[in-house]
């Protein structure tokens, strides 16, 4: 996970990907593969996607259902 520091600006960090991932999931549950394909244009490396997903899961912002689809857990 890349955090903003002297080497990485906020835009290049994992934190900048979090709202983008959540925005892609706004219409309901989506498979991880579909989510990755929709985010691929915003990524420099596939591990950036995994870091963002790990971070969102650790924050309990997302979860996965029995069908293997990821969905948002945050309450408004």
Q: For the segment 50-73, what is each residue's pLDDT rounded down to a tens digit?
A: 999 999 999 999 999 999 899 999
Mean pLDDT, range 12-36, rounded to an integer: 93
Q: Is the pTM of this model over 0.75?
A: yes
Mean pLDDT, range 13-37, rounded to an integer: 93
Strand residue runs (E) in the chain: 30-31, 62-64, 69-72
Q: Position of tokens 């309990």?
A: 60
Question: Given this model, what pLDDT does residue 42 score?
Answer: 84
With 90 as the cut, is the pLDDT of residue 29 above it?
yes
């Amino acid at each position: 996970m890349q955090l903003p520091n002297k080497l990485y600006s906020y835009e290049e960090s994992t934190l900048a990907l979090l709202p983008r991932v959540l925005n892609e999931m706004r219409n309901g549950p989506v498979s991880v593969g579909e989510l990755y394909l929709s985010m691929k244009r915003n990524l420099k490396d596939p591990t950036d996607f995994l870091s963002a997903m790990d971070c969102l899961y650790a924050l309990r912002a997302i979860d996965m259902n029995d069908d293997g689809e990821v969905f948002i857990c945050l309450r408004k």
